[in-house]
């Protein structure tokens, strides 16, 4: 039996092996290949240290294998890449800059150092994180010596007294830049700008409901994942949505330009117009719209026509007196009697 059996051995071809080598990595796989935590990998993509590609199958962005090899070939890999994406909080940031935590917070509120991400702790307090490299660069700048070692100028102190806090606004500007760099389509760019505005502002700019629904498909999700309608979700929405009037006006103007460009590139899909004629006439001509027949009220109805019989209608006989009718009746009875006897 074994001598009569033909066994086909399938060996991988060069084309199959080459296609496998060309397949890009998912983001989770790419993070493992680079020896990074997922949060470190996401921040590296955010900062542009790792280039990603859109997935043709719609499964998110991917990382080309050539990009992995490029990063591995860099000097000091992977420690150098980890240092570039190291993010620290207020206490560690103050220690790097050799200042108190209170002074560090004042510098951050003034917008002199910009947060790169934020988290919410278990008490729903906002924890701002800053790039360690940027803090060290700020400290090494000779222009920053007076801000680090001397009392703040009167102008800056007055701004802090009025409640100035630019941390959320500076983060929004930084995050919008990241979204625009990742966008590869005019509608994606418009969706990135729309993500910084609330729905009321967007509906005033984009009045067409079909166009607005299409725009929402490209609206990125907030970076923090919270339960919908929870206090944490409302706090995250407040951070990720423009609050200052001048910021709102700038974003509204930018959204109007982005949507106009997206319309030129590709109009938003809308449903086809409905056909009101359900019984078209023959020969392909549309049926005419007929007005409904008007019915008369009951008291205006015409009387029904008299029924027709097969016999012709006899002319009316003149009226006769009672004695004459009696004589005619007696004559008819006598005529029938004599006719029967004969």
Determine the pLDDT at residue 77.
Answer: 93
Q: Can you give the pLDDT at residue 279?
A: 52
CB count in 10 Å sphere of residue 45: 21
Residue 258 tokens read as 């982005």
Average pLDDT over residues 226-246: 90
Whether 206 and 231 have beta carbons less than 8 Å apart is answered as no
Confidence (pLDDT) at 270: 84
Q: What is the pLDDT of residue 64?
A: 94
Q: Which residue has the higher pLDDT, 315 or 99?
A: 99
Of the chain, the percentage scoring pLDDT greater than 70 comes to 72
What percent of the chain shows pLDDT beyond 90? 63
CA distance 66 to 3: 48
Supply the pLDDT for residue 4.
Answer: 54
- Rounded to the nearest 10 degrees, what angle do helices 38-47 and 27-34 cross at? 100
Model pTM? 0.73
* pLDDT tens track for 265-299: 999 998 876 665 555 444 444 444 444 444 544 44
For residues 101 and 58, the answer to whether their CB atoms sit within 8 Å is no
Out of 7-21, 51-65, 283-297, 315-329, give the one with best mean pLDDT. 51-65
164: tokens are 């100035």
* Domain residue ranges of the chain, discontinuous segments joined by +: 21-84, 87-165, 168-265
Tens-digit pLDDT profile for residues 27-65: 999 999 999 999 999 999 999 999 999 877 666 789 999
Tell me phi and psi for residue 3, to 5 degrees. -75, -25
User: For the chain, percent helix, then strand, then coil, each to nearest 5?
Assistant: 55, 5, 40
Summary mean pLDDT of the chain = 82
Give the per-residue pLDDT at 91.
Answer: 96
Of 225 and 316, more confident? 225
Domain 21-84 falls under CATH 1.10.3470: no
């Amino acid at each position: 039996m074994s001598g009569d059996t033909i066994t086909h051995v399938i060996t991988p071809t060069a084309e199959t092996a080459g296609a496998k080598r060309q397949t890009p990595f998912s983001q989770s796989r790419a993070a493992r290949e680079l020896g990074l935590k997922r949060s470190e990998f996401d921040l590296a993509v955010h900062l542009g240290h790792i280039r990603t590609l859109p997935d043709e199958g719609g499964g998110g962005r991917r990382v080309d294998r050539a990009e992995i090899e490029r990063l591995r070939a860099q000097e000091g890999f992977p420690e150098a890449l980890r240092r570039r994406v190291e993010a620290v909080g207020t206490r560690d940031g103050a220690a790097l800059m050799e200042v108190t935590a209170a002074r560090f917070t004042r510098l951050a509120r003034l917008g002199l150092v910009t947060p790169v991400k934020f988290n919410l702790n278990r008490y729903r307090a906002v924890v701002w994180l800053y790039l360690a490299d940027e803090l060290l660069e700020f400290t090494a700048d000779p222009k920053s010596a007076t801000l680090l070692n001397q009392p703040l100028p009167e102008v800056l102190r007055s701004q802090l007294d009025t409640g100035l806090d630019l941390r959320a606004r500076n983060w929004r500007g930084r995050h919008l830049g990241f979204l625009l760099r990742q966008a590869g389509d005019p509608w994606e760019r418009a969706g990135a700008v729309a993500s910084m505005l609330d729905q009321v502002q967007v509906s005033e700019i984009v009045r067409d409901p079909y166009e607005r629904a299409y725009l929402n498909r490209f609206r990125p999700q907030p970076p923090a994942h919270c339960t919908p309608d929870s206090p944490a979700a409302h706090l995250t929405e407040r951070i990720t949505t423009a609050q200052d009037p001048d910021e709102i006006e700038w974003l509204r103007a930018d959204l109007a330009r982005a949507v106009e460009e997206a319309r030129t590139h590709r109009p938003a899909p809308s449903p086809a117009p409905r056909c009101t004629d359900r019984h078209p006439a023959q020969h392909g001509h549309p049926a005419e719209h007929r007005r409904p027949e008007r019915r008369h009220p009951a008291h205006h109805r015409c009387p029904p026509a008299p029924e027709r019989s097969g016999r012709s209608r006899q002319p009316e006989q003149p009226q006769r007196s009672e004695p004459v009718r009696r004589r005619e009746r007696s004559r008819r009875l006598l005529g029938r009697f004599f006719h029967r006897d004969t």
